[in-house]
Structure 1
Amino acid sequence: MRSVKVKWGLYHLLVGGFAILLLYPVIWLLMSSFKESEAIFVTADSLLPDPFIFDNYVQGWKGFGGHSFGVFIKNTVVFVGLTMVGHLVSSSFIAYGFARLKFFGRNFWFAVMLVTLMLPYEVVMVPQYIIFAKLDWLNSLKPLVVPAYFGHPFFIFLLVQFIRTIPRELDEAATIDGCGTFKIYYKIILPLITPALATTAIFSFYWTWDNLLGPVLYLNSPEKYTVSMALNMFLSNETVSNWGAMFAMSIVSLIPVFVVFFIFQRYVVEGISMTGLKG
């Protein structure tokens, strides 16, 4: 019994050490947000700030261009919310078609969809920009949000694998009871793939919240900037960069990410682990 306790203690000590090692950059970022901007890199080897100041948070929250950082958070929440809804609705509907419906060339189009997953964004960036420019969608959220309503290959693949774990006998029973294809989708399939939908929503939230390249390409007005763009504006090649304010607002922008992770982490594990099972 004593040997088991020793092994258990060593295990937690080892895991805790690795956790501290992985979290150290975040801890350094947090401590640096309370330092003077000029002293952040001068005293980079010292974790504790001296003196301990809160002015970085005040300056950072003021934002720039007459817009507070709260405006950029609001813009990002709208951007993330619309994109997440688009990913959930479109990807689940397309995945249902690939997993349950029989149509000509299904395997071929599924393979094409997987190939698009391997394409880097830089390949389609210029053609997409030209299309959105011709549609007069520049300086708006449309180029960033509308594509989400046509499915995302990674989420489609994830949901297809999950739907395949659901016995087809449920579809047959629903058909006997008078359910059509669409009714089976939202009455039978959607409730049963909740863990996978939660995983999709969480990953969509993370990727959209951190997205910088898309907003930089399509948004020109400061009042429409997202959090990632606002953080980038604290850095300057011509004047002195306000590192303290940027670090402070980086901590603020990380709060929603940590909250979402700690609340919904079990859905991520459950969704990914169950995707590989076969019913």
Structure 2
Amino acid sequence: MKNKALKKTIQHVLMITFALIMIYPLVWMVSSSLKESSSVFVDAHSLIPKEFHFDNYVAGWKGFGGITFGTFFWNSTIISVLATVGSIISSTVIAYGFARIKFAGKKIWFVSMMLTMMLPFEMVMIPQYIMFNTFGWLDTYLPLILPTFFGIPFFIFLIMQFIKTIPKELDEAAKIDGCNNFQIFYRIIVPLVVPAMMTSAIFSFYWRWDDFMGPLIYLSTPEKYPVSLALKLFSDPNSVTNWGAMFAMSTLSILPIFIIFFFFQRYIVDGISSSGLKG
């Protein structure tokens, strides 16, 4: 009993230690958002500000050139929500096709789709830029949103594995009742794969909200910048950087992610544990 207690104690101590290490950068950022800009790196070792400067949030929210951070938050919301809706709808439809419908070249198409997950973004960045430039989509949200309406391989695989856990007898019973493939998908499959869809939606929102490279490549008008790109405007090598305001807006930028995770965290567990990824 003593050995078991000692082992559990060591495990808990290690877990708490690793948790503190992981959360330290976040706590440091919140602490820095309340410090005077000039003392952020001077007192970097201290997590408790000598004086609390809540005016950093006011200064940061004012933004740049008459563009407040409310505009940047709204832009991020538009991109993240529309891209998430597009990716979930298209990925669910494609996953249903791979999991339930027989068609010529099914295995080849599936392997081709999975291979795209291995391509780094740097390989497709230039071809995509040339293509979107030909379409006249530069400095618009279309390159950031429209491609998601053609499916995301990771989400397709996740939802497809979930659909495979659903007994095919339900499909056969629906066919006997006169349902076609679309009706089976809409009435039978979709209600049962909600956990996998919600899991995919949460990941999609995270990725789109934090995306920096995409907006940097395709957007050139400051009024269209999302939060991830607007934060870069605080850092100006030709002038003094307002670090306090920058960390203040960085703190606000992670609030939507925390809120979504707090309310929908159970779907992440349910979606992954029941999707067949466990083997």
TM-score range, shorter chain: over 0.9
**Structure 2 unaligned residues grouped into runs of 5+:** none
Amino acid at match of 2:102: K
Contact 1:165–1:277 (8 Å) recurs in 2: no
Aligned to 2:159: 159
**Separation in structure 1 between the aligned mates of residue 243 and residue 80 of structure 2, nearest angstrom:** 26
Amino acid at match of 1:38: S
- 1:175/1:127 Cα in 2 relative to 1: closer, same or farther (>3 Å)? same
Q: List structure 1 segments (4+ residues) > 6 angstroms apart after TM superposition.
A: 1-10
Aligned to 2:50: 50
Contact 1:65–1:222 (8 Å) recurs in 2: no
**Separation in structure 2 between the aligned mates of residue 14 and residue 134 of structure 1, nearest angstrom:** 54
- 1:263/1:2 Cα in 2 relative to 1: closer, same or farther (>3 Å)? farther
Amino acid at match of 1:36: E
Q: State the 1:20 CA deviation.
A: 2.3
Residues 118-141 of structure 1: CA deviation (Å, up to 9, x unaligned): 111111111111111111111111
3-state SS of the aligned residue for 1:252? helix
**Separation in structure 2 between the aligned mates of residue 262 and residue 88 of structure 1, nearest angstrom:** 20
Aligned to 1:68: 68
**Separation in structure 2 between the aligned mates of residue 18 and residue 218 of structure 1, nearest angstrom:** 38
Aligned to 1:147: 147
**Separation in structure 2 between the aligned mates of residue 103 and residue 127 of structure 1, nearest angstrom:** 30
Query: Where in structure 2 are the equivalents of 1:250-261 lying within 5 Å?
Result: 250-261=250-261
1:105 aligns with 2:105: yes
1:22 aligns with 2:53: no
Q: State the 1:9 CA deviation.
A: 6.9
Q: State the 1:62 CA deviation.
A: 0.3
Query: Where in structure 2 are the equivalents of 1:191-206 lying within 5 Å?
Result: 191-206=191-206
Moved more, 40-49 or 106-115: 40-49
**Separation in structure 2 between the aligned mates of residue 26 and residue 171 of structure 1, nearest angstrom:** 48
Query: Where in structure 2 are the equivalents of 1:68-147 lying within 5 Å?
Result: 68-147=68-147
Contact 2:60–2:248 (8 Å) recurs in 1: yes
Aligned to 2:187: 187
Q: What is the RMSD of the two structures over their aligned residues, measured on CA atoms?
A: 1.9
Aligned to 1:214: 214
Q: TM-score, normalised by structure 2?
A: 0.94
**Separation in structure 1 between the aligned mates of residue 60 and residue 12 of structure 2, nearest angstrom:** 38
**Separation in structure 2 between the aligned mates of residue 196 and residue 57 of structure 1, nearest angstrom:** 37
Moved more, 232-241 or 193-202: 232-241
3-state SS of the aligned residue for 1:45? coil
**Separation in structure 2 between the aligned mates of residue 175 and residue 128 of structure 1, nearest angstrom:** 42
Residues 149-194 of structure 1: CA deviation (Å, up to 9, x unaligned): 0000111111111111111111110011000011111111100001
Q: What count of residue pairs does the alignment treat as equivalent?
A: 279
Contact 2:98–2:160 (8 Å) recurs in 1: yes
1:269 aligns with 2:272: no
Residues 88-108 of structure 1: CA deviation (Å, up to 9, x unaligned): 110000000000000111011
Aligned to 1:249: 249
Q: TM-score, normalised by structure 1?
A: 0.94
**Structure 1 unaligned residues grouped into runs of 5+:** none
Q: State the 1:115 CA deviation.
A: 0.4
Residues 17-61 of structure 1: CA deviation (Å, up to 9, x unaligned): 432222111111100111111111111111111122112111100
Identity of aligned residues (%): 55
